[in-house]
Amino acid sequence: MARASVFGVSDGLVSNASLILGVAGADTSSSIVRLAGIAGLIAGAVSMAAGEYVSMRAQQELFQRELELERLELERNPETELAELTQLYLNRGLSEEVASLAAQQMMANPEQALEVHAREELGFSPDSLGSPIGAALGSFGAFCAGALVPLIPWFFAGGMTAVIWSLALAVTAAAGVGVALASFTGRSRWFSALRQVLIASVAAVVTYGIGHLVGVQVS
Residue 123 falls inside a structural domain: yes
Residue ranges making up the domain that contains 93: 60-128
Cβ–Cβ < 8 Å for 178, 197: yes
User: Over 60: is that where the pLDDT of 218 sits?
Assistant: no
Total domain count, the chain: 2
Whether pLDDT at 219 is above 50: no
Among the candidates 101, 128, 155, a domain finishes at: 128
The model's pLDDT over 165-194, given as tens digits with 9 standing for 90+, comes to: 999 999 999 999 999 888 887 788 899 999
Same domain, 117 and 166: no
Do 65 and 54 lie in a common domain?
A: no
For residue 60, pLDDT beyond 70: yes
In this structure, is residue 135 part of a structural domain? no
Q: Note the pTM of the prediction, 2 decimals.
A: 0.77
Q: pLDDT digit string (tens) for 108-142?
A: 777 777 777 677 666 666 666 678 888 889 999 99
119 and 64 part of one domain = yes
> Among 194, 202, 159, which Cα is nearest to 178's?
194
Taking all residues of the chain, what is their mean pLDDT, rounded to a whole number?
84
Q: 101 near 152, Cβ under 8 Å? A: no
58 pLDDT band (50/70/90 cuts)?
confident
C-alpha–C-alpha distance, residues 165 and 39, integer Å = 20
pLDDT the model gives residue 186: 79
**Residue 182 and residue 195 in contact, taking contact as beta carbons nearer than 8 Å:** no
- Asked which of 72, 95, 128 is the last residue of a domain, the reply is 128
Q: Would 138 be classed as within a structural domain?
A: no
Distance CA 211, CA 24 (A): 7
Q: Is 139 part of a structural domain of the chain?
A: no
Higher pLDDT pick, 73 / 145: 145
Q: Is residue 99 part of a domain?
A: yes
Q: Name the domain boundary from 75, 93, 128.
A: 128
- Number of helices (H) and strands (E) in the chain: give both, helices first: 8, 0
My answer on whether 82 and 31 are in the same domain is no
Residue 118 maps to a domain: yes
The amino acid present at 66, given as its one-letter code, is: E
Residue-level pLDDT at 125: 65
